[in-house]
Structure 1
Amino acid sequence: MSEAAETARLMDGVYRRQRHFYDLTRKYYLLGRDLLIDELQPPDGGAVLELGCGTGRNLIAAARRYPDARFYGLDISRQMLETARTNIDKARLSDRITLIEGDAANPAATERLGVPAFDRVFYSYTLSMIPIWREALAAGAARLKDDGRIHVVDFGQQQRLPGWFRNLLFAWLKSFHVTPRAELEAELQNLAQKTGTDLTVRPLYRGYAEYAELRKAEAAGQDGAGHR
């Protein structure tokens, strides 16, 4: 069995039942998702891709926030995509949100969407669940327009929180096959050097979460984005 097929099998197993109450519970600890959506700001008519779209929660919120953009979501779990399609239908956004099953670490997975490149690519608490997460970041960069941006929010390393809280949280996350990536910022810096982009990283909630953007240097200079 290929690594992608094994990941799909694992994710379907994890979310077969959880998908029905996923959004209700995750809103209490997947912090920073709405900040990411506020920061997307795609151009009118722009194309936005979420790699690891899960239940479609972020795509629905973003589509409502930016009515002049089109949105696309990819996920490796058929179970999650089934829930996402139901949620998007209920929100009456099926005409603006397109879903596809595939491996986020494969840059060719989105070719069937018929979109040559995307104005925005984002990852919301996805990289901590993808075994080959570095490849997933590179795959998103490969599908990005020259003036596009990558947005990431995920678990941080809890630097300013009590050690007992970090240990308890990480142990609990491990039971769901979630691994906060200690090397995330370093990998983003590496990707920024390879792609000629500027990196902005912002710790959230005393290091509970981390928010990051990759964007072209000229675009960063125009709106005053900072560096770290």
Structure 2
Amino acid sequence: MRRGEGHAARMDGVYREQRHIYDLTRKYYLLGRDRLIDELMPPVGGRVLEIGCGTGRNLIAAARCWPGARFYGVDISGEMLKTARASIARAGLAKRIRVAEGDATDFDPNALFRADGFDRIFQSYTLSMIPDWQGAMREATRHLAPYGSLHIVDFGQQEELPAWWRGVLLGWLARFHVEPRAMLVEAAREVANDIGGRMSVTRLYRGYTWSVRIDRRPH
């Protein structure tokens, strides 16, 4: 079995049918996605990559928000990419958004897109679904251009929310192979240090969501 093949099959199994209603249902609890998009601020002519692009919802929103940039997306689920390509074409953005199948922990954007060195990379509610989530962060920073930044939004640890809520939420998320990463901030800080960069974190909605940013600086 090739690296990531088992995870790809699992994700295809989860989303083969769910992809049709994914955006409608997830908008109520995948909080902070539009805030992340608003804060991307890519340079004119810059490249923006979403790792774990799913249905293409975020890429479409980002392309509309930042019309001067070019957008790319990778996802391990071929089923989700069927929906993404159809949605992108329907939005009239096929010339500005390209998507391809790829493993978040090991992909070659040159082979997929003939592009490398992205000004902005973002991961929206994907690390909580990727077994090697720390490897996915490291792989993302590997493809950042000088002065580029990695933007992450994902489930937090519900720090200021009632304990019963946390128990219910974690139990429900586990049904979809989702596990909020308690060590996300510490891992992001380590990744930032390894590349000589800077990490910042914002806890949103009483800890329901964590927003993490890693800025790369050239050596």
TM-score band (shorter)? over 0.9
Aligned to 1:20: 20
Aligned to 2:62: 62
Aligned to 1:114: 114
Q: Aligned runs of 1:169-208 on 2, under 5 Å?
A: 169-208=169-208
Contact 2:138–2:191 under 8 Å retained in 1: yes
Aligned to 1:44: 44
The letter for the 1-side match of 2:11 is M
Contact 1:107–1:140 under 8 Å retained in 2: no
Count of residues paired in the alignment? 218
TM-score, normalised with respect to structure 1:
0.93
Q: CA deviation at 1:110?
A: 5.4
Of residues 136-145 and 110-119 in structure 1, the stretch that sits farther from structure 2 once superposed is 110-119
Q: CA deviation at 1:107?
A: 4.0
Q: CA deviation at 1:109?
A: 5.5
CA RMSD of superposed structures (Å): 1.2
TM-score, normalised with respect to structure 2:
0.97
SS in 2 for 1:199: strand
In structure 2, relative to structure 1, the CA distance for the partners of 1:217 and 1:99 (3 Å cut) is: closer
Contact 2:134–2:187 under 8 Å retained in 1: yes
SS in 1 for 2:42: coil
- What does the per-residue CA deviation read over 1:148-204, in whole Å, with 9 as the maximum and x for residues that have no partner? 000000000000000000000000000000000001001000001101111110000
Cα separation, 2, equivalents of 1:30 and 1:119? 24
Q: CA deviation at 1:103?
A: 0.3
In structure 2, runs of 5+ residues without a counterpart are none
Of residues 93-102 and 103-112 in structure 1, the stretch that sits farther from structure 2 once superposed is 103-112
In structure 1, runs of 5+ residues without a counterpart are 219-228
Contact 1:48–1:69 under 8 Å retained in 2: yes
- What does the per-residue CA deviation read over 1:110-160, in whole Å, with 9 as the maximum and x for residues that have no partner? 532111210001000000001111111111100000110000000000000
Q: Does 1:160 align with 2:165?
A: no
Which stretches of structure 1, 4 residues or more, deviate above 3 A after TM superposition? none
Aligned to 1:147: 147
Q: CA deviation at 1:108?
A: 2.6
Percent identical among aligned pairs is 54
Cα separation, 2, equivalents of 1:3 and 1:25? 30
